């Protein structure tokens, strides 16, 4: 009898050991809708930023318009002074000529010409646009150069104790630093397409009697060395603008 009970219990345990595991029950997951991304800014919220010379609608129209270099256009290179008024002084270096030659050789323009500033015109940008109209130029490259110079004594100045030393020893260090600037001005729209800058710096030594001449020669050398580099920048920027020119099919569809 006891053996039968033990056998029945063993069978029950074995049966329990081989019983399949019940699958766990998972509660359904509830996802909340993701918050929409913030909208991009569409207008200037700062009242002090309002431009007195252009309305908000015109500003948006200008910024949304495509930027490119028109085909078969003409360009003039004109030296300008402070505040981009026409520089009436005689050019002191050949940078304008270097710019004009590089633009003509680029093949991007029908004609590139240096612009004479002796014509009677109004001042400011109005005068520049009048000059461009006389030259039938679609674009103007506004060129200017600004320099800061310095002069100070160096170690050779110890020899100034003698008269000959003061006359001939290179005891003055002359230094010049500047920037050459070229801006492409779209005459029809009054907008600026780009500005290219070429920064220069140089030093030299001179005797007190020749320091002024050395300063001028140093500045002139820096200008002559930097002019081709500035011209290369301008041509490269113009090439990019020409590459952005819409094809004839796109232009016809937009019209």
Residue 7 pLDDT exceeds 60:
no
Higher-scoring residue by pLDDT: 28, 195: 195
The dihedral of CA 133, 135, 138, 140: what is its sign?
negative
Mean pLDDT taken over the chain: 81
DSSP secondary structure string for all residues of 148-209: EEEEEE-GGGGGGGSHHHHHHS--EEEEEEEEEEEEEEETTTTEEEEEEEEEEEEEEEE-GG
Cα angle, residue 227 at apex, residues 223 and 184 outer, rounded to 5°:
120
% of the chain beyond a pLDDT of 90: 42
Q: Are 127 and 86 in contact (CB under 8 A)?
A: yes
Under CATH, which architecture does the 63-247 domain have?
Answer: 3-Layer(aba) Sandwich (3.40)
* Range of lowest pLDDT (44-53, 80-89, 185-194, 211-220): 80-89
Tell me, what's the pLDDT at 197? Answer: 97
pLDDT by residue (tens digit) across 231-255?
A: 999 999 999 999 999 986 454 445 4
Residue 129 pLDDT exceeds 60:
yes
Give the integer Cα–Cα distance in Å for 231 and 234: 5
Please, which residues have CB within 8 angstroms of residue 196's CB and are 6 or more apart in sequence? Answer: 181, 182, 183, 230, 233, 234, 237
Residue 16 pLDDT exceeds 60:
no
Higher-scoring residue by pLDDT: 26, 6: 26
Give the integer Cα–Cα distance in Å for 107 and 76: 14
pLDDT by residue (tens digit) across 156-184?
A: 555 555 665 566 566 678 889 999 999 99
Please, which residues have CB within 8 angstroms of residue 199's CB and are 6 or more apart in sequence? Answer: 177, 178, 179, 180
């Amino acid at each position: 009898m006891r053996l039968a009970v033990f056998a029945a219990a063993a069978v029950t345990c074995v049966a329990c050991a081989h019983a399949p595991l019940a699958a766990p029950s998972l509660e359904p997951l509830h996802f909340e809708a993701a918050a929409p991304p913030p909208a991009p800014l569409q207008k200037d919220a700062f009242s002090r930023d309002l431009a007195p010379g252009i309305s908000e609608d015109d500003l948006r129209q200008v910024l949304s318009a495509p930027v490119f270099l028109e085909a078969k256009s003409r360009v003039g290179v004109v030296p300008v002074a402070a505040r981009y008024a026409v520089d009436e002084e005689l050019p002191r270096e050949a940078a304008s000529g270097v710019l004009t030659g590089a633009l003509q050789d680029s093949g991007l323009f029908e004609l590139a010409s240096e612009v004479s500033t002796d014509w009677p015109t109004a001042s400011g940008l109005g005068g520049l646009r009048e000059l461009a109209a006389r030259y039938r130029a679609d674009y103007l490259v506004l060129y200017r150069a600004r320099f800061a110079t310095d002069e100070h004594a160096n170690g050779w100045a110890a020899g100034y104790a003698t008269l000959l030393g003061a006359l001939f020893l290179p005891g003055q260090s002359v230094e010049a630093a500047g920037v050459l600037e070229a801006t492409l001005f779209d005459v029809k729209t009054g907008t600026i397409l780009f500005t290219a800058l070429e920064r220069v710096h140089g030093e030299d030594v001179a005797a007190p009697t020749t320091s002024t001449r050395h300063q001028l020669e140093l500045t002139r050398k820096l200008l002559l060395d930097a002019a081709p580099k500035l011209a290369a920048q301008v041509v490269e920027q113009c090439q990019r603008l020409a590459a952005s020119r819409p094809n004839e099919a796109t232009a016809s569809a937009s019209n």
